[in-house]
Structure 1
Amino acid sequence: MNKQNPTVNSIGPRVATAMFQMGINGLPRNYELVYEAYSGTNPELTKDFVAIGKIKSQRDLDELGKKYLPHHHEETVVSKTSDRMQAQMSALMGLLEQEKLSLSDYSKVIDAASRSFASAAKDDLETLARSAQVLSQATELQASKSEAMVGVAARQAAELEEMKSHFLKTERMKFVDQQTGLANRRAFIKASSAIYANPERPMLCGLAYAEIDDFKRFGEAGDKGLGDLLIRHVGSLLNAGNKTHEFVIHLDGNRFAFLIKSGNDPEIMRVVDGLRAAAQSKPLFHPKTGNVLGNPTLSIGVAMSAVANKTGQLVAYAESAMFASAKDGGNRTTLYSNTTPAGTDKGWIFHQPK
């Protein structure tokens, strides 16, 4: 297995440079859009981004963002949903008001018929029959109106439920990676920000950073789609192998992360190595030739929340351990330690599973 250069895989500086050269405003939504376009995690986004042309206006970028990164434009989604729901509720209130007026008219008919029954002579069959006929017709008409209103109300209730489902789906999709179906970077930022929310009592957990070994080889095979296929393949295997339902994230490119809620180092390493084994459990086949391209492996670095005091530091430690795994040949897990083990000058412990 070829050793990887840890500096090659970071596209952050490239994104910042590209934004500066293209004159793109340094807004968070612009950064994520350009980041996604350059990382290649969504080929369609990359294609549409290039199609805009050399001069990319903020309007063009926002239109692209609404299509591929709707979470940055959720106010628009919420506003549209709110307007539709308000219109539906207004229509429903109008129906209820109509029903109220209809019932009022029906009540008047009943009252008139009651007075007619009371005042008519017992042997005045014609008057009694006429009043009974009016009451019968009014009752049939009211029943028909009520039935129609129930049908309309049911349809409007179904539309409201559909809008609610669409809104909830949109809300969920903000945190899902389209390429792999795993959690995305936004979900990771949200989850990791909670680790040190209480500095006095940080969440006990382990953060693992992982990269696919020898990923560059697939990009050099003359078919860029192989890299995307490999990422989806690994994502699928990680999802299938996540027996304990840990928080597994596809960050970008060939990089993943695992956030495991436990303060026990051996337990964390056991779970991480289980995911590492899952990632290489099935070979990748070339989609055109059917040739076996090999079983993907991961270089993983783990850092425990107890060794850091903020999220950025924890990420840096996990990333350092991951680079150490890649440097030593890959297909291994490295646990970061903030204390130097006896007889070594390194700041991490190499974990070798049995």
Structure 2
Amino acid sequence: MATANAYPKQLAEQNRKELCYTVFATLNRLEIHASPVNYELMYEIISGSNPELREKFARLAKPIAEEEIDALARAYLPHHFGKSLVDESTNRIQSELSTLKESLQSGQNSLSSYSSLLGQATGKISSMDPRDTKSIQSHLQAIRQLTEVQQSKSTQMLESVSTQITAVAAIASDVEEFERTKFTHLATNLANRRGFNKKLAELYGGERYPEGASLILCNLLALEPFEAKELVKLKEAILERLGLVVSQIVQTTDFAAWLDRPQIGILVWTSAEAEIQKVADQLKKSCQSAFDSRQRRMPVVLARFGCSTTFDAGTASELVGHAEKALQTATETASDRVVFFAGSEAGGTRKDWMLYRK
């Protein structure tokens, strides 16, 4: 078993700080307002996590207009504009429900009128001389006409109601899709960093200790040659295929996300090293097939894996930090096997979860 010993966090922190400084410096150089939205947009561009966004940004004419930045933000960071979407959806739903209410009220009035006229016509027939067949037939014809008119109105009402229900369902679907994209990496259709953080919060936010869970971080070194602008489309196709194969590997009870660095994070509900190594082997094999192409020569996939279990991490931050340390060791030693984090307390007794609860 490959093991990574704990080491200072200076390197990881330095990388994050450098990226942060680069983002702010780029915003300042391009004279773009350093708002939270613009910062996150520039972060996505510089980190390389969204090649499509990077390509579209590179095509913008200099100086970059504020309207163009806003358009990119609305397309790629929809979560920042959720309030306007929710407000718009609420207004649309209220409008559709008002129309639905009017349709139902109109249908009820029509049915009440029909019932009243039908009662009157029936009363007249009852009071007629049974031998006066001509008058009876005339009233029956009138009843048939009333019934046909009512049937036509009822059909129109049902069509109107169906249209309104469909419209409301479409609005609800738009809101649901918006909520989904907030936590989804568009290129791979896996969870994004935001969705990953949300999952970790859920994992450690419960009343009970998250026993038996492990975080596997995978770094795909073969993606680096595809950073060139002319290979953006090819990289997008590869990312889509990678997302598909990762989704096929991960069980329904597990969780996978596409991260900036490293590229893939998988939460599995097991701490058995053999099972974790099996998942890593399947992932590596699938990634190799995703890079396979008959049209052009593709680079060899180099996958490095680091893992930490909840047994060794009392918080979400510790879980990620320990997995990153293990991944760093795997990368430096060029290990093809999963490197498991082993802190100073590894092999000891389980930590008291109550110590880490807020």
TM-score band (shorter)?
Answer: 0.7 to 0.9
- Secondary structure (helix, strand or coil) at the match of 1:121 reads coil
Moved more, 313-322 or 170-179: 170-179
Given that 2:307 and 2:327 are in contact with CA atoms closer than 8 Å, whether structure 1 keeps it comes out as: yes
- Secondary structure (helix, strand or coil) at the match of 1:181 reads coil
Compute the RMSD of aligned alpha carbons: 3.4
Aligned counterpart, 1:300: 305
- Secondary structure (helix, strand or coil) at the match of 2:216 reads strand
Moved more, 270-279 or 314-323: 270-279
Counterpart selection for 2:204 from 196, 199, 203? 196
**Residue identity in the other structure for 2:310:** S
Q: Does 1:312 align with 2:317?
A: yes
TM-score, L = length of structure 1: 0.79
- Secondary structure (helix, strand or coil) at the match of 1:301 reads strand
Query: Structure 1, residues 29-82: CA drift from partner, whole Å, max 9, x if none?
Result: 44432221223333342244452755664x754442221122332232233233
**Residue identity in the other structure for 1:311:** A
Aligned counterpart, 1:24: 33
Displacement of 1:248: 1.9
Query: Structure 1, residues 295-346: CA drift from partner, whole Å, max 9, x if none?
Result: 212122111122122212221111111111111125442111112889xxxx
- In structure 2, do the counterparts of structure 1 residues 93 and 216 end up closer, same or farther at CA, with 3 Å as the change threshold? closer
Aligned counterpart, 1:351: none
Counterpart selection for 1:158 from 140, 151, 166? 166
Given that 2:217 and 2:305 are in contact with CA atoms closer than 8 Å, whether structure 1 keeps it comes out as: yes
TM-score, L = length of structure 2: 0.78
Q: Does 1:99 align with 2:107?
A: yes
**Residue identity in the other structure for 2:126:** A
Aligned counterpart, 1:278: 286
Q: Does 1:255 align with 2:263?
A: yes
Q: Does 1:268 align with 2:273?
A: no
Distance in 2, matches of 1:93 and 1:84, equals: 14
Kindly indicate whether structure 1 or structure 2 has the higher relative contact order, using CA contacts under 8 Å at least 6 residues apart: 2
- In structure 2, do the counterparts of structure 1 residues 111 and 246 end up closer, same or farther at CA, with 3 Å as the change threshold? closer
Given that 1:24 and 1:56 are in contact with CA atoms closer than 8 Å, whether structure 2 keeps it comes out as: no
Q: How many residues align?
A: 333
Distance in 2, matches of 1:148 and 1:220, equals: 58
- Secondary structure (helix, strand or coil) at the match of 1:24 reads coil
Aligned counterpart, 1:38: 46
- In structure 2, do the counterparts of structure 1 residues 230 and 110 end up closer, same or farther at CA, with 3 Å as the change threshold? closer
More helix as a share of residues: 2
Unaligned 5+ runs, structure 1: 343-354
Counterpart selection for 2:95 from 79, 87, 108? 87
Moved more, 314-323 or 243-252: 243-252
Aligned counterpart, 1:347: none
Distance in 1, matches of 2:53 and 2:225, equals: 24
Given that 1:273 and 1:333 are in contact with CA atoms closer than 8 Å, whether structure 2 keeps it comes out as: no
Query: Structure 1, residues 235-281: CA drift from partner, whole Å, max 9, x if none?
Result: 44434444677422111266221111223344333323332343234
**Residue identity in the other structure for 2:191:** A
- Secondary structure (helix, strand or coil) at the match of 1:252 reads coil
Given that 2:55 and 2:229 are in contact with CA atoms closer than 8 Å, whether structure 1 keeps it comes out as: no
